[in-house]
Amino acid sequence: MECGLLFSAGKDSSLSALLLENFYDVKLVTAHFGITDDWQYARDTAEALGFPFERIQLSDGIATDVTARMREDGFPRSGIQSVHEAALEAAAAEYDVVADGTRRDDRVPTISRAVAQSLEDRYGVDYIAPLSGFGRGAIDRLVEEHLIVESGASETVQKGDYETELRARIESRWGRDAVEEIFPDHEQTRVIGRT
């Protein structure tokens, strides 16, 4: 059975792919807005991990709305949550099984049991969050054992997810200071292969 797994080239979605690979035909799906070509980093990581890749383009209106909300909030949380849900819905329109890398201790994005059930009912899909039963320590140890990760400032380590594009959109609308204010933590990690 094919499973469309939302993929950012980060640790959580990469580990999720490994957890599901013996149970589904996993396809790594990167949602993007067409603002930059950063989705190519996700494609490269997908290839390095040995999975087929697809990108799904979300409407530019969503990027406009959520960047405005992030700017107003002063932090990205609620905007990221909206984009993540939109990405899940776009994947659910294409796949019978959709998955993501949300984990037990995540604060955002987070998919409650009610949101999961609603997605499943509205689209007739299974929604799977393979890391939602894993805590931080267990995930760190599994990542260490199974994945090769590079980390550094967000300028040098590019992931392939929509967050990079939203930063770019915020910079073009309100300048570099707005990006710094909304995303104070610059540390990024990207998976580049399996151990």
88 binds a copy of itself (CB under 8 A): no
Beta strands in 33-164 (DSSP E): 53-57, 97-99, 126-128, 147-153
Name the minimum Å distance from CB 21 to a copy of itself: 9
- How many residues bind to a copy of itself according to rule CB under 8 A? 28
In this structure, which amino acid lies at residue 118? S
Q: Which of 117, 178, 190 is nearest to 148 (CA)?
A: 190
Kindly identify the residues of this chain, within the stretch 113-142, that bind a copy of itself according to CB under 8 A.
113, 116-117, 120, 126-135, 137-138, 141-142
How far apart CA 152 and CA 158 sit, in angstroms, is 9
1 binds a copy of itself (CB under 8 A): yes
Nearer of residues 53 and 134 to a copy of itself, judged by Cβ:
134
Name the minimum Å distance from CB 134 to a copy of itself: 6
Those residues whose C-beta lies under 8 Å from the C-beta of residue 176, and which sit 6 or more positions away, are none
Cβ(64)–Cβ(86) below 8 Å:
no
Nearer of residues 79 and 130 to a copy of itself, judged by Cβ:
130
Please give the helix or strand (H or E) that residue 174 lies within, else none: helix 162-174
Name the minimum Å distance from CB 116 to a copy of itself: 7
Name the minimum Å distance from CB 140 to a copy of itself: 10
Nearer of residues 93 and 138 to a copy of itself, judged by Cβ:
138
Q: What angle do CA 79, 120, 131 make, to 5 degrees?
A: 65
Nearer of residues 85 and 126 to a copy of itself, judged by Cβ:
126
| Helices (H), ranges, the chain | 11-20, 39-49, 60-73, 77-92, 113-123, 136-146, 162-174, 176-182
Q: Mask of contacts with a copy of itself, 26-65, x by CB under 8 A?
A: ----------------------------------------
19 binds a copy of itself (CB under 8 A): yes
Cα dihedral 131, 134, 139, 141 sign:
negative
Cβ(130)–Cβ(19) below 8 Å:
yes
Residues that bind a copy of itself (CB under 8 A): 1, 19, 22-23, 97, 102, 104-105, 113, 116-117, 120, 126-135, 137-138, 141-142, 145-146
